Amino acid sequence: MRQPNDFRKDEGGAAMVEMTIALTLLLTLTLGFVDFGYAFYQWNAANKAVQVGARTAAVSSPVSTSLASAANTADSALAGTAMGSGSFPTYSCTGAGGCARFSQANFDTIYNRMVPFFPRLQPANVRITYTATGLGYWGRPGGPVPTVTVSLEGLTFQFFFLSGLLGLNNITMPSMLSTVTGEDLKSTWP
């Protein structure tokens, strides 16, 4: 039988304990790089979705059908003169509506162009805003020329490994937006 002093001097399992500690730290670090790389991918995909949404909104029919009549005027002296900044109210719509005379079909046209770039996107995350910035003229047949802003709100980064290891579940993605000057606001997209 071995003496108790012999156990204190024995280093037979030290390498395995050191390897376990080092491997745990190395594995956590590696999985962290993978997760944050994926978060960066999500950020870029959401930004691209916003850019595509803004471009689509600039050339398609407005989500708020009230915008088409915003340049109408009963004052014949005003007809043909430039519209000033703030000459019509700002129309801000989400997938749930929230704006005057909301057109779900027009919203879906924009939303469906965005989803292939960021599949986790939900209609409630998308906000489309039309603002008067002094373009167009009173009495313009197609309505005013708005500045269109598409933004994403209420999204979170999705983590696979670190959510279980370190509890990184709900890190909110910063709100992102893209602004484009409206064009003819055609009724169909090619």
Quick one: pLDDT at residue 187? 44
Give the C-alpha separation, 153 to 128, whole Å. 11
Range of the domain at 139: 12-181
pLDDT at 146: 85
Residue 126 lies in a domain: yes
**Residue 25 domain-assigned?**
yes
For residue 139, the Cα-to-chain-centroid distance in whole angstroms is: 34
Give the torsion through C-alpha atoms of 96, 102, 104, 108, to 10 deg: -80
* 189 lies in some domain: no
Q: What is the pLDDT of residue 41?
A: 92
Does any domain span residue 2?
Answer: no
Identify whether 76 is part of a domain: yes
- Residue 21 pLDDT: 92
57, part of any domain: yes
Cα separation, 44 vs 75, in Å, equals 48
Number of domains in the chain: 1
pLDDT of residue 52: 95
pLDDT (tens digit, 0 to 9) for every residue of the chain, 190 residues total?
A: 556 666 666 667 778 888 999 998 898 889 889 888 998 999 999 999 999 999 998 888 888 888 777 777 666 667 777 777 777 788 888 887 777 788 888 899 999 999 999 999 999 999 999 888 877 777 777 677 888 999 998 898 888 887 776 777 778 888 888 988 876 544 444 4
Q: How many CA atoms lie within 13 A of 33 on its CB side?
A: 5
The answer to whether residue 7 sits within a structural domain is: no
Question: 77 in a domain, yes or no?
Answer: yes
| Assessment of whether the complete model's pTM goes beyond 0.85 | no
pLDDT given for residue 115 in this prediction: 94
